Amino acid sequence: MYYYILKRVLLMIPTLFGAAVLVFCLMRLIPGDVCVLRLATGGGMDPQVLRNCRAEIGTDQPMLVQFLQFLKGLVIFDFGKSMWTGRPIIDEIGLRFQLSLQVAIMATLTAVLLAIPLGTISAVKQNTWIDYLVRAFSIAGVAVPSFWLGILIILGILITSKAWFGVAWMPPITYVPIWIDPLHNLSMLIWPALATGYRYSAVATRMTRSAMLEVLREDYVRTARAKGVFRKLIVRRHALRNALLPVITIIGIEFAFLMGGLVVTEQVFNLNGLGKLFVESISNHDYNMTQALVMLVVAIFAFTNLVVDICYAWLDPRIRYNR
C-alpha cells in the first residue's frame, strides 16, 4: 500500500510539470502586458517607465529564465508576488482559499446528503413513480445552469423576505470566518452551496442509482435475500457499500473542480473566492498569480484522485495495491 502511494505521488510530478508548461505557455500567448494595463492612464506612456515596470516584475527576462524561476518557486513553495497588486501570492490566495474551501465542502455535503439516499431509493424502487420523480429531479439538476439557479435563489430571497418582513433582505457580501460569526458566515455561503450542491447532487444521484442497480442484481445480494436477511440490511450493508466506489470517484472529481471552477457562481453571489481571482488574474495578465492558481487546482485534483483511490481499498477489501 505504501509503495502504491509513493508511486502515485511520484506520478503526480509529470502531471504537475505538464500543467506548469501548459499554463506558462498559455499565459505568454495571451496578447497584452500587465505593465501596459497597470500604467494605462488614457494618455501616452513613458517607454522608460514601461521598461522599469517590466524589469521590476521580471517579464523582461528571457522566457527560459522566467520558466526556471517559476519552477524553482514551485519546488520551494514560493510563488512570488502578484504582478497586479504587488502583494505576496500566498497572502492573496490565503484570503480566498478559506471561502472557496468552505463553499466546496458545504456543496459536497449538500450533494452527498441528497444523492446517496435519493439514488438508493430510486434504484430500490426502480420503475415506480418515486424512481421517475428522482430521475426527473436529477436530470433537471444537470440541465439547470447553477448561475441561473443562483439568480433564482436571490430572486426568491428578495420576494419572500419582502412578503414576510416588509423589507427586502439580501445575503451579506463580506466574508467572516465561520468560527468568528457562524450565523453571518452561513447566511452568506449557504446559498451558493445550495445552488452548486444541487447540480453536483444530480450527477452523484445518477451515478448512485446506476451503480446500485448493477449491484442489486449480483449473486451475493440474491444469496443474502435467500438467507432471509432484512431488505434494509441488504441495501445498506451489502449493496450500498459496494455501489459507493464509482460515486466516490464522481464526488472526488467534482470536489476538486469546485475549488477553482466556481467562476460563474461566485460572480452571481458576489463572492471573493478563487474562481473570481482566476478571472481577475487572467484579465490582468498577472502571470504569477494565474500560474500559482492553476498549479494549486491541478495539485488538489491530483491529490483528490489519490485519496479516492485509497478510499477504494477501504471500501472494497478485494482491492489491494500491493502489486
Q: Specify the 3-state DSSP secondary structure of 257.
A: helix
For the bound state, the minimum distance from the C-beta of residue 57 to another protein, rounded and expressed in Å, comes to: 19
For the bound state, the minimum distance from the C-beta of residue 305 to another protein, rounded and expressed in Å, comes to: 9
Which residues of the chain form contacts with another protein (CB under 8 A)? 14-15, 18-19, 22-23, 26-27, 29-31, 135, 139-140, 142-145, 147-148, 151-152, 154-155, 158-159, 168, 257, 260-261, 263-264, 267-268, 278-279, 282-283, 294, 297-298, 301-302
Treating both helix axes as pointing N-terminal to C-terminal, what angle do 182-216 and 89-124 enclose, rounded to 10 degrees? Answer: 40
Beta bridge partners of 81: 88
Nearer to another protein, 39 or 154 (CB): 154
Secondary structure in 3-state letters for 96-159 = HHHHHHHHHHHHHHHHHHHHHHHHHHHHHCCCCHHHHHHHHHHHHHHHCCHHHHHHHHHHHHHH
Nearer to another protein, 19 or 235 (CB): 19
Nearer to another protein, 23 or 114 (CB): 23
For the bound state, the minimum distance from the C-beta of residue 263 to another protein, rounded and expressed in Å, comes to: 5
Residues sharing a CB contact under 8 Å with residue 316, sequence separation 6 or more, in sequence order:
241, 242, 245
**Cell numbers standing for residue 39:** 500604467
Nearer to another protein, 10 or 226 (CB): 10
Nearer to another protein, 178 or 213 (CB): 213
For the bound state, the minimum distance from the C-beta of residue 318 to another protein, rounded and expressed in Å, comes to: 21
**Cell numbers standing for residue 215:** 449491484
Residues sharing a CB contact under 8 Å with residue 24, sequence separation 6 or more, in sequence order:
66, 67, 70, 291
119 CB burial (10 A radius; 0-12, 13-18, 19+): buried
DSSP 8-class letter at 81: B
For the bound state, the minimum distance from the C-beta of residue 301 to another protein, rounded and expressed in Å, comes to: 4
Could you give the C-alpha distances from 255 to 110, 113, 260, in angstroms and in order? Answer: 12, 15, 10
Residues sharing a CB contact under 8 Å with residue 246, sequence separation 6 or more, in sequence order:
207, 211
For the bound state, the minimum distance from the C-beta of residue 266 to another protein, rounded and expressed in Å, comes to: 10
**Cell numbers standing for residue 128:** 415506480
For the bound state, the minimum distance from the C-beta of residue 257 to another protein, rounded and expressed in Å, comes to: 5
Nearer to another protein, 94 or 145 (CB): 145
The rounded distance, in Å, linking the Cα atoms of 217 and 230 is: 16
Nearer to another protein, 163 or 226 (CB): 163
For the bound state, the minimum distance from the C-beta of residue 56 to another protein, rounded and expressed in Å, comes to: 23
Residues sharing a CB contact under 8 Å with residue 299, sequence separation 6 or more, in sequence order:
12, 16
Nearer to another protein, 60 or 280 (CB): 280
